[in-house]
Structure 1
Amino acid sequence: MLAVVLTLTFYARPAFAVNPDEMLSDPVLEGRAREISQELRCLVCQNQSIDDSDADLAHDLRVLVRERLLAGDSNQQAIDYIVARYGDYVLLNPPLKPDTYILWASPFILLILAALAVVGFYRRKKRDGRIAPANLTDQERKRLDEILSPSGD
C-alpha cells in the first residue's frame, strides 16, 4: 500500500509545480502562460518544462512569463524575451541553426560512439578468445593426469 501511495505521489508531483499564488486571475492569460511554460525548459531540471518543475529558477521563469503577458506581450514575444536572457537552450524544442547544431547532433554522436564502443568490445573479445592457451609443462601434465585418472588405478 505504501508503494502505491509513493508512486502516486511521485507522478502527481509535477501537478503541484505551479503554485496558486503564481496563477493569473484572468483564465485566458493563465492558459497562455501555461502554454508558454510547456515550451520552456527548466535549466535546473534539464528535461522538464518550467510548468512541471518545482525548482526555484522554474518558479522565477513562470513569474517572468506571467509578468510579460500582463505587460501585453504576445506568446512569441514572451518566449523571445526569455530566450534573449537565457539562450536557445531554454527552449524544449530549440530551432535548428548553427548555434544549436550541437544540441541536435549530440544524441546521434552519442549513439555512434556507443556503437563504436560495442563493436570495439566484441572485436577485442573475439581477438582475445583466439589466443591459443599456453602448452603445459611436463610437471603440469603429470599433475593433470593424476587428477583426471580414476582413483582405482
Structure 2
Amino acid sequence: MPVERLSAAPGRRLSGAFGMLVLVGVLGLAPAAQAADAPAAAVDPGVAPAVVADPALEADVMALAHKLRCLVCQNQSIAESNAPLAVDLRNQVREQLAAGNSKGEVIDYLVARYGDFVLYEPPFKATTALLWSGPLLLLLGGAGWLAYRLRRRQAETAAEGALSTAERARARALLAGGEAPAAPPESPESRS
C-alpha cells in the first residue's frame, strides 16, 4: 500500500505563513501600543508649581533641583518634572533651604533617604567605580581587540603574500618588459 504524502495545499501553506507573520507582528507591536496607551503617570500637568515670595530662595531651590534626579521619571531632574514625587521633593528642598540648611545638608538628607540614585552626578566611590570607569574600560578593551585583529590580519596577509624564488624571477622579467620564463608545469598532486 503506497504511503500518501500528507501535506497541505500550496495555498494553505501560504495562508498559514501569512497568519504566523500577522501573529508575530501583532505580538511584537503590542508592548509599543500598550506603552502609547498608558497614562503618563510621571507627569501631572494639573500640578501647579508652588508660588514663592522670595525669588532668591526660589533660584537656590531650582539650582539644587537641577542636580537631583526625579525618582519617577528617572530621565529628568526634579526641576523639569511635574510628577507628584518631584513636586514633593522640590517642596522639601524649599522647606529645608528656608529653614536655614545649606545646599550640602539638603543633598546629604536626600541621599540618606533615597540613595546616590537621586543625584544626577553620583560621587566616585567603591559602589560607583564601575559606573565611572566602565566607559574607559570598554574603550580600552575595544582598542586592544582592534589592534590584535589588525596585527593578526597583517601577519596572515604577509604569510600568504610571500613569493617563491621562481615567482620573483618571473615577476622581475615581466616588469623588465621581457618575456617571462614559462611557469613550471603543475604536478598531478597540485591539481587535486
TM-score bracket for this pair, using the shorter chain length = 0.5 to 0.7
The unaligned stretches of length 5 or more in structure 1 are 1-17, 140-153
Q: Deviation per CA, 1:56-95: give whole Å up to 9, x if none.
A: 4xx6235313224225243222212221133223323333
After the TM superposition, which parts of structure 1 deviate over 4 Å for at least 4 consecutive aligned residues?
none
Instruction: Give secondary structure in 2 for the equivalent of 1:39.
Output: coil
Q: For the residues of structure 2 that align with 1:82 and 1:37, how far apart are their CA atoms?
A: 11
- Take 2:68 and 2:92, find their aligned partners in 1: how far apart are those partners? 15
Q: Kindly provide the amino acid, as one letter, of the partner of residue 69 in structure 1.
A: R
Q: Which residue of 1 aligns with 2:48?
A: 21
2:135 maps to a residue whose letter is: P
Q: 1:50–1:62: 8 Å Cα contact kept in structure 2? A: yes
- Aligned residues of 1:22 and 1:63 also touching (Cα < 8 A): no
Contact 1:69–1:78 under 8 Å retained in 2? no
Query: What is the total number of aligned residue pairs between the two structures?
Result: 117
1:66 aligned residue (86, 91, 107):
91
Structural mapping, 1:1-150, within 5 Å:
21-25=48-52, 26-42=54-70, 44-45=74-75, 49-51=77-79, 53-54=80-81, 56=83, 60-71=85-96, 72=99, 73-130=101-158, 132=160, 138=191
Structure 1 residue 128 displacement after superposition: 4.2
Residue identity over aligned pairs, in percent, reads 31
Q: Distance in 2 between matches of 1:122 and 1:55?
A: 52
Unaligned residue ranges in structure 2 (runs of 5+)? 1-44, 162-185
The change in CA–CA distance for 1:115 and 1:91 in structure 2 (over 3 A counts) is: same
Higher RCO (CA 8 Å, separation ≥ 6 residues): 1
Cα RMSD of the aligned pairs, angstroms, is: 3.6
TM-score normalized by structure 1?
Answer: 0.55
Q: TM-score, normalised by structure 2?
A: 0.46
CA contact (8 A) 2:124 2:132 kept: yes
Question: Cα–Cα, structure 1 residues 66 and 55, in superposed 2: closer, same or farther, change >3 Å?
Answer: closer
Check 1:118–1:32 CA distance in 2 against 1; reply closer, same or farther (3 A cut): same
Larger Rg: 2
